[in-house]
Structure 1
Amino acid sequence: MFLTVNDHNLHATVAGDPKAPVLVLLHSLGTEAALWDAQVAAFSATHRVICPEFRGHGASEESQTPLTCEALASDILEMLDQMGVGDFTLSGCSLGGVVAQLVAAEAGARVKGLAIFNSYVKSLDPQMWRDRAAKIRADGLTSIAGGVLGIWMTEADRMTPEGKGLARILSRATDEGYAAACDALAVVDCRDAAAKITAPTIVAFGSEDKAAPHTASEALADAIQGASLRAIEGAAHLPLLHYPDASSAILKELT
């Protein structure tokens, strides 16, 4: 479905009974709602599953203004309000995990559970994000695609149907949509937001993740009161499609 949210035309995929408990899933940088296909399949029989697509990703319009993670969080809350959503369980991966922290801090008691995959509480390397944005604007996303895919997945996972699908998803991403999100990640600091989160929280990381290593997840879990930490053995940066059972089991602890 498409909605006008904060003066932008944004897209979300929705599955399941409109009267069922709501599960909101936020994708990572350079991907789209399809990142959560395995979890949509696992939960749509019991939940209303909503997968928004951020500005400049999937079928959503690129940002008309300089992008921030706070703007993305505002988009999610406004979208959910327009859809008549009250309470919900929330999850996000990487960029989606950053935005999920901001959403959870603002939404308060509406968030009944929070699962954050392969993310961090503040930018790990601001200059890297600035350099990446500049490289994309100069030479296009294709100039870094191989390196990105090598971070997203292990070499073995890249050869699977899911790995080939993720490569196609990245190929559909727009240069400016990706670069604008890099700008947002360069300056993000969720430490104040994380301290406000009251929902039961699980922070998960892939044992082979080089983009958001276990130390980043440990710092994030420490920043959220009562959060617990989970490892997904063998997973790199995007475990949701390649390790669907382990990823969905974490969500089931909170739904």
Structure 2
Amino acid sequence: MKLVVVSAGLSVPSSTRLLADRLAKATAARVPAEVAVVELRDLAVEIAHNFTNGFPGRALGAAIEAVTQADGLIVVTPVFSASYSGLFKSFFDVLEQGVLAGKPVLIAATGGSARHSLVLEHALRPLFAHLRAVVVPTGVYAASEDWGAEGLAERIERAAGELAGLMTGLAAAGPAREARPAREARPASAADGSAEVSADGSAVAPAEGPVRRPREAVAQSATAGRGARTDGFQVVPFEQQLAALRTR
């Protein structure tokens, strides 16, 4: 499996990259995965050129390919103006629509104050929900005072476990879905209540609930005369209704 880390940190060294590395290490300890890191700081010029000419450069193209082929993503951004950075958003703007659909994503952010911790919920989570990614329940925010303090390590471990679980579950479900034989069932008869039969000859239990009657039976009930009932409802033919209106 492939785990790709997208870091939008700008400085060197970067607390954003530090948080990304710790998340990647905790995830890789739970699931066998090849880890690749995409540093958006090195792609800023190519991202800008992609907006103007519509073509990614060589490095940006390789980063897009890595994200597209990833089995799981860790995305980390610094907080700028109470939201994700413009560089972070620009990278995901150049991705083709649907690239992240169904892909497990762990969201994280760094900032100078704990007051910006809600950026995970009001900015990052809606963004990746719009991109149709599967965002893990636990997001990780690290303020300046969180480094070395209690709580950050536990959040990292919990989020990494959730991402590893999603990656493992999707990898295991993929071959099972392909190997599962397609069922071509015939509908059960309303009279005999027989079970459906799949393509491999095995019986399939009929669905719960009332059995739908054929259209011919319903039509016969509707024309049987005034007072006929079908499925518990009174059925009055249209001709009789029209005749009753004319006699008023």
TM range (shorter): 0.3 to 0.5
Relative contact order higher in (CA < 8 Å, ≥ 6 apart): 1
Give TM-score scaled by structure 1 length: 0.39
Give TM-score scaled by structure 2 length: 0.40
Which entry has the higher C-alpha Rg, 1 or 2?
2
